[in-house]
Amino acid sequence: MKHTKNEKGFTLVELMIVIAIIGILAAIAIPQMSAYRDRAYNTAALSDCRNLITAMEAYHIDYGQYPMDNEQSGTTTWVLNEETGLDGNILPELERYGFKLSDGVTAESINVDYNTYVINSMYNYKTAENRRVDYSYDSTYGEIVTGISEVTP
């Protein structure tokens, strides 16, 4: 085989170096992308919590009480998520005020009575660090509290 000086192309060593560099960059970038995704999921849960607060307050302005599943007992507990939906007529009432639950988010309202409520909102899937961020709002205090809970694998 005859070699000429005008041959063009890359040597095997050059190609191996390029592949190694690409592998190193991918090893750095992939965990960072996972963290960005986790933050986006948690932001969706926080946004749903705020939207639910707005819908609950708008409902209270119109009806003089917060939406309850069983109005005769005076208190209720309900959970919103994409699998179970919601028993009763609370979700259509909240949708009238612009509330829409994001995919993968669970929002629950605990101990609703005529004048106060507590909302918990969280993303359903565990993060890469096996942690879940929960957002809680108590209408008595008027601020959203963030909590981190460990998720067992």
Q: Is the pLDDT of residue 17 over 90?
A: yes
Give the integer Cα–Cα distance in Å for 101 and 52.
9
The number of distinct structural domains making up the chain is 1
In whole angstroms, how far apart are CA 103 and each of 31, 128, 143?
23, 19, 24
Give the range of the structural domain holding residue 124, as residue numbers without chain letter: 12-150
| Residue 97 belongs to some domain of the structure | yes
- Residues listed for the chain: 153
Is 45 part of a structural domain of the chain?
Answer: yes
Distance between CA atoms of 66 and 85, rounded to whole angstroms? 19
At 151 the pLDDT is 53
Task: Examine residue 126 and state whether it is found in any structural domain, yes or no.
Answer: yes
SS3 11: coil
Partner residues linked to 135 by β-bridges? 121, 146
Q: Determine the pLDDT at residue 25.
A: 92
pTM of the predicted model over 0.75: no
Strands laid side by side in the 118-123 sheet = 76-80, 105-112, 118-123, 131-138, 143-150
Residue 23 has pLDDT above 80, yes or no: yes
The pLDDT score that the predictor gives to residue 71 is 55
Rounded CA gap, 101 and 139, in Å?
A: 20
